[in-house]
């Protein structure tokens, strides 16, 4: 083989991350004398341990060892105290500590050529202090502005991990994936993902296919997964002899080819052929499904729909589709754009045509009904012209249906939180309209509105929480229960950063004296992390009320078991002539405040 042949042959590209990992391992080993330490790589079934260090004594192996998770980064922004932060899953901390050995996290910072380290035990202690109680969801627009050092006061406020639990979703990954994938933009993408990871501690709300759940998931991993899936269509449309296909690509293509062949030969309903032959519909069919003409097979429909979806996401076809629909139902786009009641205008437009407006709930096996309903409703409002998004495709800017659909998903995911923060006024107004229609109790705000709301309602700490009860009774108009025994006060305040509803109960069958009950009005579509919330809430009650009557202190492991078995006795405090009882009833945490004299 000649030198030119050797240099020009097709070979796998070296991965920058893999090179950095190799470099960090090499430099880490160089710091330890082979006479005093033996370093072993954990190569098989790695669950978070990269290396084991065994201490030697006078040349003898001692079996005194400790696990190490080694991370590496080219550059990272330091905290004000000079330390460096990066996200770690709680499950990973637990895994490192389960064998009772001292365990360490080590980070190689290449630009400084320095290693930073911390004991895993310290990290788990810090994790228990992440008292995240009020849930906040921000769209990528807000997060990216924060990354650019805008909204400094807002950033400082939500940086309070004693109070706020911040989430990202797979739609944030979609927003980032929509940016340029050129090699020149790779560093920006990695920095964006790292910012999300640090801001949210990797807590992600996502659709599992059956439900919407909240777990710790790495934004970097989700981004890589999305890119892998995004290439499948290109794989399916490639010749199997294509030299650019990897072995994995060929395996996917080979596996799916029999099903594509079946689809190719399957005839479809004659309605598609008739639509192309009908002069009244032919123009629209040729505009939006040109690939289907003269190919009325299952494969033709499949390819036509995929290509239409691709054009909607990459070109300005959505603008044309939206205009055609608005003209078809004769709706006045200028009037509906900023109307106070878009649903009434849409309903009247369909009634004039004698058409019953179809619902937006389309049941499927891949997501909950409420998620489909909210995201589909968002698209419906935009399609009909209410606060419709701009569609722009030019050299320097690309705004397509993809942006609108991701905003729809943001709006659905945000309904799992107490607050949805967006500075996109079109997104904000559509989200408000949808939440009102479906009685979603998530508050939608711009970042500066949230700052004002924080100073008015959310800044309280410590014993200030106790003074909020009489203030609520004095200033909030209650709703009286049907039996007249309960006065219910819904409030924008969060007592102990958790309870936002106060009940005053005067029921002789329950107690011979009136008493107060604090409960949490959940975000409409929430997935609760009870263990975390209970641990945090108990610590806050201990800080204000002092030791509980049984002197249990912080949340105990045995209490976790008692809750699962529905045998938890709760907690009790005596403070200033009142008894406070924390209970877990009907899947909710409740705080009873009783007079004892």
Tens of pLDDT, residues 117-142: 887 755 444 443 333 579 999 999 99
Same domain, 387 and 516: no
For 453-473, the pLDDT digits (tens) are 999 999 988 888 888 999 999
For 181-219, the pLDDT digits (tens) are 677 788 999 999 999 999 999 999 998 877 888 888 899
Which has the higher per-residue pLDDT, 1 or 516?
516
Domain endpoint, select from 385, 411, 437: 411
Indicate the burial class of 62 (C-beta count within 10 angstroms; 0-12, 13-18, 19 or more): exposed
Same domain, 259 and 399: yes
> Is residue 221 one of the residues assigned to a domain?
no
Q: Which has the closest alpha carbon to 500: 533, 538, 469, 462? A: 469
Q: Which has the closest alpha carbon to 531: 563, 500, 568? A: 563
> Is residue 168 one of the residues assigned to a domain?
no
Domain endpoint, select from 127, 159, 174: 127
Same domain, 258 and 400: yes
> Is residue 437 one of the residues assigned to a domain?
no
For 245-286, the pLDDT digits (tens) are 555 455 555 655 565 565 556 566 666 677 777 776 677 677
Average pLDDT, the chain: 83
> Is residue 236 one of the residues assigned to a domain?
no
Q: Report the distance separating Cα 463 and Cα 543, nearest Å.
A: 9
For 6-31, the pLDDT digits (tens) are 767 766 766 777 888 889 999 999 99
Same domain, 383 and 521: no
Which CATH number characterizes residue 55's domain?
A: 3.40.1350.10
> Is residue 373 one of the residues assigned to a domain?
yes
> Is residue 229 one of the residues assigned to a domain?
no
Determine the average pLDDT of the residues in 529-537: 71
Same domain, 268 and 403: yes
Q: What percent of the chain has pLDDT over 70?
A: 79
- For residue 212, the model assigns a pLDDT of 87
- For residue 125, the model assigns a pLDDT of 41
> Is residue 211 one of the residues assigned to a domain?
no
- For residue 404, the model assigns a pLDDT of 93
Answer yes or no: is pLDDT of 419 > 80: yes
Answer yes or no: is pLDDT of 229 > 70: no
Same domain, 401 and 533: no
Same domain, 474 and 569: yes
User: How many structural domains comprise the chain?
Assistant: 3
Same domain, 36 and 108: yes
For 88-108, the pLDDT digits (tens) are 665 566 666 666 677 888 989
Same domain, 480 and 369: no
Answer yes or no: is pLDDT of 145 > 90: yes
Query: How many helices (H) and strands (E) in the chain?
Result: 24, 20
b/e per residue 75-91 (b: at least 16 CB within 10 A):
ebeeeeeeeeeebbbbe
Same domain, 398 and 508: no
> Is residue 418 one of the residues assigned to a domain?
no
Q: Report the distance separating Cα 517 and Cα 504, nearest Å.
A: 6
Domain endpoint, select from 394, 411, 428: 411
C-beta atoms surrounding 316 within 10 Å: 17
Which token pair is 338? 């900023």
Same domain, 507 and 394: no
pLDDT band at 557 (very low <50, low <70, confident <90, very high): confident
pTM of the model: 0.70
- For residue 294, the model assigns a pLDDT of 77
Q: Which residue segment(s) compose the domain that 353 sits in?
A: 243-411
pLDDT band at 583 (very low <50, low <70, confident <90, very high): very high
pLDDT band at 47 (very low <50, low <70, confident <90, very high): low
H or E element in which residue 91 lies: helix 90-97
Same domain, 399 and 535: no
């Amino acid at each position: 083989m000649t030198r030119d042949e050797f240099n020009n042959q097709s070979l796998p590209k070296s991965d920058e991350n893999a090179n950095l990992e190799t470099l960090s391992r090499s430099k880490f080993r160089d710091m330890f004398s082979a006479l005093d330490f033996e370093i072993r790589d954990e190569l098989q079934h790695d669950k978070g341990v990269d290396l084991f260090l065994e201490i030697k004594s006078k040349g003898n192996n001692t079996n005194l060892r400790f696990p190490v998770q080694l991370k590496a980064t080219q550059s990272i922004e330091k905290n004000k105290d000079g330390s460096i932060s990066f996200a770690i899953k709680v499950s990973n901390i637990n895994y490192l500590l389960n064998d009772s050995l001292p365990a360490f996290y080590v980070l190689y910072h290449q630009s400084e050529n320095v290693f930073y380290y911390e004991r895993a035990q310290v990290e788990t202690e810090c994790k228990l202090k992440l008292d995240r109680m009020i849930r906040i969801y921000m769209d990528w627009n807000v997060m990216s502005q924060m990354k650019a050092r805008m909204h400094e006061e807002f950033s400082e406020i939500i940086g309070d991990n004693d109070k706020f639990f911040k989430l990202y979703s797979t739609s944030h990954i979609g927003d980032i994936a929509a940016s340029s994938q050129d090699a020149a933009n790779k560093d920006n993408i990695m920095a964006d993902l790292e910012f999300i990871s640090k801001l949210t501690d990797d807590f992600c709300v996502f659709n599992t296919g059956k439900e919407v759940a909240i777990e710790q998931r790495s934004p970097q991993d989700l981004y890589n997964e999305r890119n892998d899936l995004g290439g499948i269509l290109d794989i399916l449309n490639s010749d199997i002899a294509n030299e650019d296909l990897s072995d994995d690509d060929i395996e996917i293509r080979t596996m799916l080819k029999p099903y594509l062949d079946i689809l190719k030969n399957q005839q479809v309903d004659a309605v598609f052929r008739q639509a192309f032959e009908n002069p009244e519909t032919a123009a629209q069919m040729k505009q939006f499904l040109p690939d289907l003409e003269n190919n009325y097979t299952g494969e033709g429909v499949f390819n036509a729909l995929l290509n239409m979806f691709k054009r909607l996401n990459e070109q300005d076809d959505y603008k044309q589709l939206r205009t055609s629909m608005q003209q078809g139902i004769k709706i006045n786009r200028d009037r509906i754009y900023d109307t106070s009641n878009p649903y009434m205008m849409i309903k009247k437009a369909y009634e004039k045509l004698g058409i019953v407006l179809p619902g937006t709930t389309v049941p499927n096996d891949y997501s909950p009904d409420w998620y489909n309903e909210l995201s589909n409703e968002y698209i419906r409002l935009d399609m009909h012209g209410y606060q419709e998004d701009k569609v722009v495709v030019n050299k320097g800017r690309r705004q397509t249906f993809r942006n609108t659909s991701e905003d729809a998903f943001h709006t659905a995911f945000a309904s799992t939180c107490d607050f949805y923060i967006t500075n996109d006024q079109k997104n904000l107004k559509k989200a408000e309209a949808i939440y009102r229609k479906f009685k979603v109790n998530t508050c939608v705000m711009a970042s500066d509105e949230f700052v004002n709301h924080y100073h008015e309602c959310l800044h309280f700490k410590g014993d200030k929480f106790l003074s909020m009860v009489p203030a609520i009774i004095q200033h909030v108009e209650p709703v009286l229960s049907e039996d007249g025994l309960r006065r219910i006060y819904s409030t924008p305040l969060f007592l102990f950063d958790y309870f936002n509803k106060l009940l005053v109960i005067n029921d002789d069958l329950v107690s011979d004296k009136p008493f107060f009950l604090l409960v949490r009005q959940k975000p409409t579509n929430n997935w609760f992390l009870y263990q975390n919330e209970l641990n945090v809430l108990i610590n806050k009650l201990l800080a204000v009320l002092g030791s509980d009557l049984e002197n249990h202190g912080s949340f105990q492991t045995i209490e976790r078991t008692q809750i699962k078995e529905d045998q938890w006795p709760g907690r009790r405090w005596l403070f200033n002539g009142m008894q406070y009882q924390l209970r877990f009833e009907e899947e909710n945490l409740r705080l009873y405040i009783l007079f004892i004299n």
